[in-house]
């Protein structure tokens, strides 16, 4: 059985809304700090992985 994410898709299909994540990242940092697109994408991937692990271990 394949682990499922919070919306019921397989781990490979799991994602988070990029616009929402970008907004959260910008809100958490001082206004003069910029984050590279690659860094934002990596952070989003890490969040997806954390959500999948949470679902896997806590059902």
Ordered structural domains, the chain, with CATH? 11-58 (1.10.20.10)
3-state helix, strand, coil in the chain (%, to 5): 60, 5, 35
In the prediction, which pLDDT does 12 show?
58
Q: For 11, which DSSP code?
A: G
DSSP 8: S
The predicted-structure confidence for 2-54, as pLDDT tens digits, reads as follows 444 444 455 556 778 888 988 998 999 999 999 999 999 999 899 889 988 88
**Other beta carbons less than 10 A from residue 16's beta carbon:** 17
Task: Choose between 9 and 58: higher pLDDT.
Answer: 58
């Amino acid at each position: 059985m394949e682990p499922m994410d919070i919306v019921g898709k397989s781990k490979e299909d799991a994602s988070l809304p990029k616009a929402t994540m970008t907004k959260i990242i910008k809100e958490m940092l001082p206004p003069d700090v910029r984050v590279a697109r690659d860094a934002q994408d990596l952070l989003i991937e890490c969040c997806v992985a954390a959500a999948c692990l949470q679902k896997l271990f806590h059902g």
